[in-house]
């Protein structure tokens, strides 16, 4: 194991950097997402952010994952086709210059999802690798992982393989409606659980009516039936409720054939998916996304050092 691992989840809207020393998280930083760096010098930007980390006199490895390896990123990497172990992404890395060092960009994964559509993910594979290392899920027959975000990923694992996955744009819709629409204003981490749960139930009963139900986030306020501060939680509950209902239908899942769902996320958004899944009768476990990412990068680094990936 290298003395210092500098790892980055470089997504569309944000860069999350981790400095890991002797296997332990020592520092974190944030930077602009890939969408804000298009047309600029990725190398120069990253060097500015981690220059002092790189100056330390120790054996250092740099790993990057996410949209940095996409067509709009620093260097495009080829997708690993599913079903496959998530660790297979280390077989198709791209090497880029970082000052007098090299950085490795991991590939993403691709599949044909349960709707028969092509689907892709980048960055989430690191959290999947970390989740397996943290929870010792190797050998589990079948399990479902939810990774909420702008584009939430629902990943079906079978015998430690990423069998398939399905993307949802619930997060992007919520952001668009609360930032530029008139239905509701996002109140940050404020969480009116009862309002959210009721909305999840409404979506579960009639997910096909989602585009009509969404307007109730406004009409309930204008009619005096609901306080304006509750509108965002109703909107969130409707979208997440429809998201959960849709993926359960697509994967033909019920509480009887799936003992637990792992939700890998920051607490603010993760707790919403946990609550929604519980309303559908599932046991759900929240796993902090930072913990999963750090564990995943450590496992990738270890595997690269050994030069071995699971077949």
Residue 178 included in any domain: yes
Q: Are residues 201 and 89 in the same domain?
A: no
pLDDT for 262 equals 96
pLDDT at 257: 86
| Same domain, residue pair 195 and 99 | no
Residue 276 resides in a domain: yes
Residue 311 has pLDDT above 70, yes or no: no
Q: In this structure, are 104 and 179 located in the same domain?
A: no
Higher pLDDT, 49 or 158: 49
Specify whether 260 is located in the same domain as 299: no
For the chain, the helix, strand and coil percentages under 3-state DSSP, each to the nearest 5: 45, 25, 30
Tell me: pLDDT of 58 over 60: yes
Q: What is the pLDDT of residues 269-297, one digit of tens each?
A: 999 999 999 999 999 999 999 999 999 99
Q: Residue 55: which pLDDT band, with cuts at 50, 70 and 90?
A: confident
Distance CA 95, CA 147 (A): 27
pLDDT at 159 over 90: no
> Does the pLDDT of residue 92 top 90, yes or no?
no
* pLDDT value for 135: 81
Both 172 and 87 in one domain: the answer is: no
Taking the CA atoms of the chain, what radius of gyration do you get in angstroms? 20
pLDDT band at 69 (very low <50, low <70, confident <90, very high): very high
Looking at the structure, do residues 119 and 220 belong to the same domain, yes or no?
Answer: no
Q: What's residue 24's pLDDT?
A: 95
Give the DSSP per-residue string, 147-178. E-STTEEEEEEETTEEEEEEEE-HHHHHHHHH
Residues 282 and 302 in one domain: no
CATH number of the domain within which 63 lies: 3.30.420.300
178 and 78: one domain? no
Domain that residue 111 falls in: 4-137+292-306
Q: Does residue 19 sit within a domain?
A: yes
Residue 8 lies inside a defined structural domain of this protein: yes
* pLDDT at res. 188: 75
pLDDT of 123 strictly over 70: yes
Together in a domain, 265 and 301: no
> Across residues 230-243, what is the average pLDDT?
97
**Judgement on whether residues 275 and 298 belong to the same structural domain of the protein:** no
Task: Write out pLDDT tens, residues 21-48.
Answer: 999 999 999 999 999 999 899 999 999 9
Say if 300 falls within a structural domain: yes
Q: What is the CATH number of the domain that holds 182?
A: 3.30.420.310
Other Cβ atoms closer than 10 A to 51:
10
Q: CB-based contacts of 302: which residues, under 8 Å, 6+ apart?
A: 1
Rounded to 5 degrees, φ, ψ at 81 are: -85, 135
* pLDDT (0 to 100) of residue 140: 52
Do residues 179 and 253 both lie within one domain? Answer: yes
Tokens found for residue 136: 């010792």
Pairing state between β 101-105 and 60-66: parallel
CA 40 to centroid of chain Cα atoms: 25
- Supply the pLDDT for residue 307: 62
138 or 106: which carries more pLDDT confidence? Answer: 106
Domain assignment present for 160:
no
Q: Is the pLDDT of residue 147 over 50?
A: yes
Residue 159: inside a domain: no
Q: Are 133 and 197 in the same domain?
A: no
Structure tokens at 217: 């986030």
Q: For the chain, what is the domain count?
A: 2
Other C-beta atoms closer than 10 Å to the C-beta of 92 total: 16
Query: Is 146 contained in some domain?
Result: no
């Amino acid at each position: 194991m290298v003395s210092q691992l500098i790892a980055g989840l470089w997504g569309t809207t944000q860069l999350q950097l981790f400095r890991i020393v002797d296997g332990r998280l020592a520092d974190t930083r944030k930077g602009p997402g890939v969408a804000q760096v298009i047309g600029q010098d990725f190398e120069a930007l990253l060097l500015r952010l981690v220059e002092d980390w790189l100056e330390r006199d120790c054996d250092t490895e740099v790993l990057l994952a996410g949209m940095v390896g996409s067509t709009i990123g620093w260097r495009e990497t080829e997708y690993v086709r599913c079903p496959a172990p998530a660790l297979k992404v280390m077989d198709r890395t791209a090497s880029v210059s970082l000052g007098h060092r090299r950085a490795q960009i991991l590939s993403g994964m691709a599949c044909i999802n349960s709707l028969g559509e092509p689907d892709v993910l980048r960055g989430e594979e690191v959290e999947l690798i970390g989740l397996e290392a943290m929870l010792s899920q190797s050998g589990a027959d079948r399990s479902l992982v939810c990774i909420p975000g702008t584009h939430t990923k629902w990943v079906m694992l079978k015998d430690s393989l990423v069998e398939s996955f399905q993307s949802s744009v619930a997060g992007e819709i919520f952001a668009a409606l609360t930032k530029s629409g008139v239905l509701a204003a996002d109140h940050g981490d404020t969480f009116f659980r009862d309002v959210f749960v009721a909305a999840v139930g409404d979506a579960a009963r009639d997910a096909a009516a989602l585009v009509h139900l969404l307007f109730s986030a406004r009409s309930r306020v204008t009619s005096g039936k609901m306080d304006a501060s509750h509108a965002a939680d109703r909107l969130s509950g409707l979208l997440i409720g429809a998201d959960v209902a849709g993926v359960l239908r697509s994967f033909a899942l019920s509480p009887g054939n799936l003992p637990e769902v792992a939700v890998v996320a920051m607490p603010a958004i993760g707790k919403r998916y946990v609550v929604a899944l519980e309303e559908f009768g599932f046991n759900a476990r929240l796993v902090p996304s930072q913990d999963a990412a750090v564990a995943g990068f450590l496992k990738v680094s270890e595997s690269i050092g050994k030069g071995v990936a699971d077949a």
